A and B are shown apart, each in its own frame.
Chain A
Amino acid sequence: MLTSLDLLVIAFMAITALSLLAALLMFLIRNKTVRRVSLYIVSALALYLAAMGFYIALYGFVGQALIALLAGAAAIGAVVLDIIGAKKGLDRLSLASRICAAAALVIGFINAIS
């Protein structure tokens, strides 16, 4: 029978693995559909981690709460940039959105862990 620690560790490992895989696919794969789906997964995870970090830091750690907010905003910004880039056909915006999403994920992850 799985204890709460087991569930915690499994959940943590799954989120970490999924984040890394999605982030790598976002940069290594040329297929636009796969890239887009990976970006949305990374942004969703970054947003989740930012929310978790904000909730944890809410009572007492203002700096961390602000960082969490920043990470969340970056995740949303990444999705917006990607949509605009796709509509206007600008590859640079697409690259910027991917970098933004990856940064949001890393910042949110480190913020939540610490």
Chain B
Amino acid sequence: MTDSRKSKLSFEILGDLAVSLAAAVCLFCLLVFLALHIADSFVYSQNIEMTDIDLDYMTSRIFSLGAIISVLVFVMLFLFLLGQRLSYIPKIAKGIEALHSGEEHTVPVEGNDELGDLARSINYLSETQKRVRAEEAALQSEKEELIRSLSHDIRTPLTSIMSYSELLTSGDLPEAERRNYLELIRKKSLQIKELTDILLDGGARKLERFDDARLLFCQLVDEFESSLEDDFSIEAKVTLSPFAGNFDVRELQRVFDNLSSNIRKYADRQSSVAISLSLAEGKLTLSQENRIRADIEKSESYGIGLKSIKRIAGLYGGSACVEEEHGIFRITVVFTDFS
């Protein structure tokens, strides 16, 4: 809310001058009038006879004294009032200093003149500076999170490439199996390339329209199963009717890679791993459940994969909910905005 009655500092100082002058004039009149009255009363009560010269002399002294005292009162009053106005300037200067050094500081806003406007502007600049700093910090944090998340996600296909390369170099393998592993290495290399492209593009999305996204998700679940079936028993349940949607395949691959990476690190190999996909009321729900290994050691990268899944689910207007209870790990990822 702004007050439309703006005043100028010069007019306010003139106002103070006028008040001081009026007070001094009133005081002069009062002093002279009453002093003359007191002098007359004194002379009368003391039966003093005064000549005209004496009277004139007394009157002129009263006038002079009255004038001197009035001038003194005028000067003192005006100095007090001016000092009051000017004492605001150091407060404003303190605000400017704080702004310069980047500290948080609010200048008290007094009056509706140029100094008050200056104080308001300084406060606005200080608020803006604070907001910009916060936005910068948030952007920096987001950038670091993206780098951390992508680095973690790159590690999963890289680990697969290393495993398959070791298998290829280990011994005699049938030609079909060798070709299969080479194909997997090629796919994982492409995946790493796409992830580094995301890193270089600053996280830009590449949404593609799928007329039947069910096929895409079935393929992702199949790849998920095949990456884990050597070490785990997988129970997959996909109950999807044909549906259309816009998806970034790289993002979905990262979700499944993070799930499989966590299973490899933390799931109990003696128990089965369950994964299910369903579509209801426009919400695509991906659930995964496994028993947690008793002897896990949480590494530095613990939680980064889950954070990445949550972030990707957020990009589709959804969420990821993680529960760990009685040795069972359960994650439910919901995608809502993909049409």
- State yes or no: do A and B come from one complex: yes
How many residues of chain B get a CB closer than 8 Å to chain A's CBs? 27
Q: Does A83 contact B (CB under 8 A)?
A: no
CB pair A9 B38 closer than 8 Å: yes
CB pair A8 B27 closer than 8 Å: no
Chain A residue nearest to B43 in the complex (CB):
A5
Say yes or no: A12-B23 contact (C-beta < 8 A), given A17-B72, A20-B73.
Answer: no
Q: Does B209 contact A (CB under 8 A)?
A: no
CB pair A13 B35 closer than 8 Å: yes
> Which stretch, B77-85, B197-205, B255-263, B271-279, touches the partner chain A?
B77-85
Q: Does B182 contact A (CB under 8 A)?
A: no
CB pair A21 B31 closer than 8 Å: no
Q: Does B65 contact A (CB under 8 A)?
A: yes
Bound-complex Cα distance A110 to B189 (A): 103
Beta-carbon contacts under 8 Å, B59-77 to A? 61-62, 65-66, 69-70, 72-73, 76-77
Chain A residue nearest to B20 in the complex (CB):
A24
A-B contact pairs, 8 of them (CB 8 A): A6-B61, A9-B35, A9-B38, A9-B65, A14-B69, A16-B27, A29-B81, A31-B84
Beta-carbon contacts under 8 Å, A1-23 to B? 5-6, 8-10, 12-14, 16-17, 20-21
1/0 per residue B24-51: CB within 8 Å of A? 0011001100110011001100000000
Q: Does B115 contact A (CB under 8 A)?
A: no
CB pair B84 A16 closer than 8 Å: no
Beta-carbon contacts under 8 Å, A45-85 to B? none
Chain B residue nearest to A4 in the complex (CB):
B42
Q: State the Cβ distance, A35 to closest chain B Cβ, in Å.
A: 11
Q: Does B19 contact A (CB under 8 A)?
A: yes
CB pair B27 A20 closer than 8 Å: yes
What residues of A have a CB within 8 angstroms of the CB of B58 in the complex? 5
Given contact pairs A6-B61, A9-B38, A14-B69, a sample of 20 additional A-B residue pairs in the complex whose CB atoms are under 8 Å apart: A8-B38, A9-B39, A9-B61, A9-B62, A9-B65, A13-B66, A16-B27, A16-B30, A17-B31, A17-B69, A17-B73, A20-B27, A20-B73, A21-B76, A21-B77, A25-B77, A28-B77, A29-B84, A31-B84, A34-B80
Chain A residue nearest to B19 in the complex (CB):
A28
Bound-complex Cα distance A20 to B73 (A): 9
CB pair B81 A28 closer than 8 Å: yes
Q: State the Cβ distance, B266 to closest chain A Cβ, in Å.
A: 61
CB pair A25 B39 closer than 8 Å: no
What residues of B have a CB within 8 angstroms of the CB of A20 in the complex? 23, 26-27, 30, 73
Picked from B23, B65, B76, B87, the residue with its CB within 8 Å of the CB of A10 is B65
Picked from A5, A16, A28, the residue with its CB within 8 Å of the CB of B42 is A5
Quick one: which of A13, A28, A30, A34 has the most chain B CB within 10 A? A13
Chain B residue nearest to A31 in the complex (CB):
B84
A-B residue pairs, 5 tightest by C-beta? A17-B69, A9-B35, A13-B31, A21-B73, A17-B73
Q: State the Cβ distance, A29 to closest chain B Cβ, in Å.
A: 6
Bound-complex Cα distance A21 to B80 (A): 10
